[in-house]
């Protein structure tokens, strides 16, 4: 048995489908299926139960999967440590990014990083700050860019402050408030909103401010998809609050400063429990 077979088993267990597993491993389906079958013959057990419509991991497969993941991780770590001795940076780097990041040009930073360290394999996850923060503490992410409310620094991770930005009300050019230079939160009392999901850290940037101002508001849509949010605003169906620097990306809309409005702070966060050479190298690029 070899490590490539381990990768195939892990991919099939995660995807539950031969076609998707093969695509994930960048091989044709027949090759993946053949290698897994060879491994089962070598072990003398079935790792997966198969029908024409379903693939399910067996109890033996579950037992093998845990060891396969550990073995693959150990092998990859050995390669990383050997490369580090030779002055090379290799391995994997998992990065999380909030949808509304503005403090860092992530694409430009990745270009610089990969030009310096082409042997590193990067994975990106775009999600809310709460999900990314939890992923770092679990060891599922190495680095993340977070956006958090004031007075709520990152928890359970190493972090560095990047920037602070005020939230602005974003409305269409047709909106009745579009010609105002500045507004109060009370001016938005009768508006319909699109906002981030209830309970998320992104939503916690706006909700407390409205509560403190004694303003009740109607949120007609909750979504992490900022493109969908912007399309609703363009049709004058709703308004939203966004960081002012992020709102600048939409010059066809109107950004209204809010007197005593809420702020959003962006942080660079990472796992400081034995960070990999790739993590150190990426943090250096972002300095």
Each residue's pLDDT expressed in tens, for the chain with a length of 287 residues: 677 888 888 888 888 889 889 988 888 888 999 999 999 999 998 999 887 778 889 998 888 888 888 877 766 666 656 555 555 677 889 999 999 999 999 999 999 999 999 989 899 999 999 999 999 998 889 999 999 998 899 999 999 999 999 999 999 999 999 999 999 999 999 999 999 999 999 999 999 999 999 999 999 999 999 999 999 999 999 999 999 999 999 999 999 999 989 999 999 999 888 888 899 999 999 98
Q: Are residues 256 and 270 in the same domain?
A: no
Are 219 and 138 in the same domain? no
Residue where a domain terminates, one of 66, 85, 104: 85
Q: Is 192 exposed, middle or buried (0-12, 13-18, 19+ CB in 10 A)?
A: middle
d(CA 52, CA 198): 41
Q: Where among 28, 54, 85 does a domain terminate?
A: 85
212-to-106, 186, 188, 243 alpha-carbon distances in Å? 34, 11, 14, 19
What count of other Cβ atoms lies within 10 Å of the Cβ of residue 111? 12
Q: Which of 183, 192, 156 has the alpha carbon at shortest distance from 255?
A: 183
* Vertex 186: Cα angle to 237 and 151 (nearest 5): 100
CATH of residue 213? 3.40.190.290
Q: Which two tokens stand for residue 212?
A: 């403190």
Both 222 and 259 in one domain: the answer is: yes
Same domain flag for 113 and 77: no
The domain of 218 spans: 163-264
Total domains, the chain: 3
């Amino acid at each position: 048995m070899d490590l490539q077979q381990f990768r195939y088993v892990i991919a099939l267990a995660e995807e539950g489908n031969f076609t998707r597993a093969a695509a994930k491993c960048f091989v044709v389906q027949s090759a993946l299926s053949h290698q897994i079958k060879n491994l089962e013959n070598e072990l003398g057990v079935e790792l997966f139960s198969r029908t024409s419509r379903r693939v399910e991991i067996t109890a033996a497969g579950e037992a093998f999967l845990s060891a396969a993941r550990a073995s693959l991780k150990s092998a990859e770590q050995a390669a990383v440590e050997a490369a580090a001795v030779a002055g090379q940076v290799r391995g994997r780097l998992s990065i999380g990014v909030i949808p509304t990041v503005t403090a860092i040009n992530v694409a430009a930073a990745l270009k610089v990083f990969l030009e310096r360290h082409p042997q590193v394999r990067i994975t990106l996850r775009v999600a809310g700050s709460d999900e990314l923060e939890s992923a770092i503490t679990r060891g599922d992410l190495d680095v993340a860019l977070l956006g958090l409310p004031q007075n709520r620094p990152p928890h359970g991770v190493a972090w560095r402050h990047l920037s602070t930005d005020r939230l602005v009300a974003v409305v269409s050019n047709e909106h009745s408030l579009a010609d105002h230079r500045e507004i109060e939160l009370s001016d938005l009392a009768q508006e319909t909103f699109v906002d981030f999901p209830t309970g998320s850290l992104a939503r916690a940037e706006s909700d407390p401010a409205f509560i403190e101002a004694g303003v009740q508001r109607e949120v007609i849509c909750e979504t992490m998809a900022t493109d969908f949010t912007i399309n609703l605003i363009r049709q004058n169906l709703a308004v939203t609050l966004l960081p002012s620097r992020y709102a600048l990306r939409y010059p066809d809309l109107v950004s209204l400063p809010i007197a005593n409005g809420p702020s959003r702070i962006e942080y660079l966060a990472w796992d400081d429990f034995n960070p990999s050479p790739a993590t150190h190298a990426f943090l250096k690029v972002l300095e």
